[in-house]
Amino acid sequence: MRFRESVEHIMQETQHILEEVEEGKVNDAINLFFEANNIFVYGAGRSGLVAKAFAIRLVHLGFPTFVVGETITRPVKKGDLVVLVSGSGETIPVAMTAEIARRLGAKIISITANPDSHIARFADIPIILKPRKKNASLAPLGTLFEISAWLFLDGIIAQLMAEKKENEESMRGRHATLE
């Protein structure tokens, strides 16, 4: 059945992608979250949805977090952290955000599949989530990157939870109540 073949392919490939992430870069990234005055996340399309899901969890952990482009987002300043998610690393609004954030003195974590991309070059910490083999019939377009990015960022949340000594109960107190 194609469904099972697809799920197996996606699981195997995302595991391989995430095993390639350097632990030192994860530790460096974690430190930036604790040093930041404010955290901003951004991505376009499906990568943007991954970024927004991450932003929600950061809010649940008590970090002052904003999504770039939303009407209530603060201005980015020196001492802030910008997390950019883009498979290609060349999506124009995301690449422009990297340039602007750098000019403003913010720290940048980029999450991309392209180590030579615009956002990787501007990042203080580039996280590369590069699929080794693509099979468009089992995982079309950027599926492997997007799922790997989601899992990577949820792993970051788990590490931040541990270091802040947070749990689901404390996070639930910051969960939306008007849903």
Known active-site residue 146? yes
Q: Which residue has the higher pLDDT, 178 or 80?
A: 80
pLDDT at position 65, please?
97
Between 137 and 127, the higher pLDDT residue: 127
pTM: 0.94
Helices 2-19, 143-164: inter-axial angle, 10-degree rounding: 50
Q: What is d(CA 74, CA 69) in angstroms, rounded to the nearest whole number? A: 10
Residue 141 has pLDDT above 90, yes or no: no
Average pLDDT over residues 26-50: 97
pLDDT at 134 over 80: no
102-133 per-position pLDDT tens digit:
999 999 999 999 999 999 999 999 999 999 87
User: What is the pLDDT, as a whole number, of residue 25?
Assistant: 97
Fold of the CATH domain 2-172 = Rossmann fold (3.40.50)
What integer is the mean pLDDT of 8-25? 95
Structural domain spans, the chain = 2-172
- The rounded distance, in Å, linking the Cα atoms of 8 and 3 is 9
* pLDDT score at 178: 65
Q: pLDDT tens digit string along 39-98?
A: 999 999 999 999 999 999 999 999 999 999 999 999 999 999 999 999 999 999 999 999
Q: Pick the catalytic residue from 22, 23, 99, 146.
A: 146
% residues pLDDT > 70 (the chain): 98
Provide the pLDDT for residue 9.
Answer: 92
pLDDT of residue 179: 62
Rounded distance, CA 112 to CA 119, Å?
Answer: 8
Tokens, residue 86: 């883009």
